[in-house]
Structure 1
């Protein structure tokens, strides 16, 4: 809904081979975020995908 994280508190994060981390998307539920991370991981990319709850400092 918005970038404050009120309605979309779950993040999918991609970490590449060099350790750089990028936000892939925001999701309303942990389950929804995990399904996306699993889908992305299942495509055979070398990056690591993880699910994290957004904190106050995440934008």
Structure 2
């Protein structure tokens, strides 16, 4: 983008054992988001982590 903003189209999402979902963070690349999701998932808790890409208008 040329308007000086940073685009962070990749989300890391967490779902707990009660089914509640939370956005953990937004990242510039899929690889960066996957690295975070993998490291959080390795902690042995019951939460599930995954990545999603959002569109330019902020939708999935």
TM-score range, shorter chain: 0.7 to 0.9
What TM-score comes out, normalization by structure 2 length? 0.79
Q: How do residues 2-21 of structure 1 correspond to structure 2 at under 5 angstroms? A: 7-21=7-21
Any gaps of 5 or more consecutive residues in structure 1?
1-5
Q: Which has the larger radius of gyration?
A: 2
Any gaps of 5 or more consecutive residues in structure 2?
1-5
- Shift, 1:18, TM fit: 1.1
Q: Which runs of 4+ in 1 moved over 6 A?
A: none
CA RMSD of aligned residues (A): 1.4
